[in-house]
Amino acid sequence: MPVNLEGCRFFIKTFGCQMNENDSEHVAGLLIRAGAGKAPSPEESDIILVNTCAVRKKSEEKIDSFLGRLSPLKKDRDRVIGVLGCVAQLRRGELFKKRPEIDIIVGPDHYHELASLLSQKREGKLLKTSWNRVWHEIGSAETFRKSRVSAYVPIMEGCDNFCAYCVVPFSRGREKCRPAAKVLAEVQDLAGNGYKEVQLLGQNVTSYRDQETGEDFAGLLRKVSGVEGIEWIRFITSHPKDISPEIARIMADRPNICRQLHLPLQSGSTAVLERMNRGYSREDYLEKAALFKGLMPDIALSTDVIVGFPGETEADFEETLSVLKKVEFANIFSFRYSPRPRTAAARIADDVPLGIKRKRLIILQEVQKEIQLARNRTFIGKTFQVLCSGESQKDAGRYSGRSEGFQVVNFGSPRDVRDRFVDVLITGCGPYSLHGKALL
């Protein structure tokens, strides 16, 4: 069916993870194909889409307040307001009751139909959310990418792990994998179009399995690293129970796979990990981290940590701190536990008081800040290859990019080096970024 959104202007606000950012790039590409144009702000648009994240209570609250701010815009023009993503999938029709200004709710399994849904004139509201295990291919040609050198490439979606605290199996559905041939074709196409970096995406990339050929993540990674022209390959997120020595060996062998790994710990206490249903112990995690560090001493490891999971004692929390000290992560994302609908943990008492959760989060972040500062200081005087993403947001006339270890590097350069690899001499650092000057 020909889809026509000619003359319509759309604005997408994205919350959440890289998967959502990638989905928004797909949605933008599909709407542009149907004739619509991008608007610079919600005020100047005919269609406002909010791509949502449900992973923590705080994320849902932020989205609700954003939707509240859109409400006056509904009055001065005949606009369509749509909700996409994880909250759409999780809350479905409930959202219409809470926020009457919403016109359509579309879950991630229906983005390929979105342009057609928007172009049909209709009375009343529209709800389209469902899950199946079929991968809907939205290829490179339909994707509007923000960057001309770095691209997200989804390889799987959903999760079958059911960690006790996590809403993802309910908001993103069960695992489904993209055929390896399609992944490879997209990476080859990106390389042909001058892309230098790809990030393979999935809630659990290490669960990847091609439905037809049975190929696993290690096999896929090997194939992607054989694509000429792609200089940096990253992947996110890996699960500590599934990441294998084979993956470590491939990373160590292939120069175009970045020596960087995000490996969510969640807790350093085996008792808490068991109650979280994570499928590994503190010792298993430390062993895996040591394996990767042993093969690649310069690897940058990062992680996610939850504080205040039900029943977490002071001793459990101390165990988490001790893992941070042992592993010396390059970066961590840390969160206070919040109960999420439909999860197993939501059925047990959220018994760590808010004040204690807050205190633990501050301590954790302070400990990590010192680790990062000490680690970053060791880089002063070294030269890093940096993929420049553009001008620094804080400092006009300076540039910003990421190192192979995914660290933010801000630097001075006599020339515009946007979208290029550049060697940067590191001259200083803070706990969260490095600074230096381009060697041109």
Residues contributing to the site for ligand SAH (CB under 6 A): 55-56, 165-166, 168, 203-204, 237, 239, 264, 266, 304, 306, 335, 337-338, 340
Q: What is the dihedral of CA 304, 307, 310, 314, to 10 degrees?
A: 130
Q: Which of 326, 300, 311, 237 is nearest to 270 (CA)?
A: 311
Residue 337 interacts with, from ligand SAH, ligand SF4, none (CB under 5-8 Å by kind) = ligand SAH
What is the Rg, in whole angstroms, of the alpha carbon atoms belonging to the chain? 22
> Is residue 24 within 8 Å of residue 51, measured between CB atoms?
yes
Closest to ligand SF4 by CB, 203 vs 376, is 203
Tokens encoding 431? 């706990």
Closest to ligand SAH by CB, 368 vs 392, is 368
Closest to ligand SF4 by CB, 143 vs 203, is 203
> Is residue 115 within 8 Å of residue 31, measured between CB atoms?
yes
Distance CA 406, CA 387 (A): 10
Tell me the site size for ligand SF4, rule CB under 6 A.
10
Distance CA 331, CA 55 (A): 20
Site string for ligand SF4, 210-249 (x = CB under 6 A): -----------------------------x----------
| Distance of closest approach, residue 263 Cβ to ligand SAH, in angstroms | 9
| Distance of closest approach, residue 121 Cβ to ligand SF4, in angstroms | 38
Closest to ligand SAH by CB, 230 vs 330, is 330
Binds ligand SF4 by CB under 6 A, chosen from 8, 28, 84, 159: 159
Stretch that binds ligand SF4, among 65-73, 85-93, 166-174, 177-185 (CB under 6 A): 166-174
Closest to ligand SAH by CB, 302 vs 372, is 302
Stretch that binds ligand SF4, among 7-15, 44-52, 161-169, 397-405 (CB under 6 A): 161-169
Tokens encoding 237? 């997120």
* Cα diameter, the chain: 64
Q: Is the dihedral of CA 6, 147, 154, 19 positive or negative?
A: negative
Closest to ligand SAH by CB, 323 vs 424, is 323
Strand order in the sheet with 47-52: 37-38, 9-14, 47-52, 80-84, 104-106, 126-128
Chain centroid to CA 83: 19
Q: Which residues bind ligand SF4 (CB under 6 A)?
A: 159, 161-163, 166, 168-169, 203-204, 239
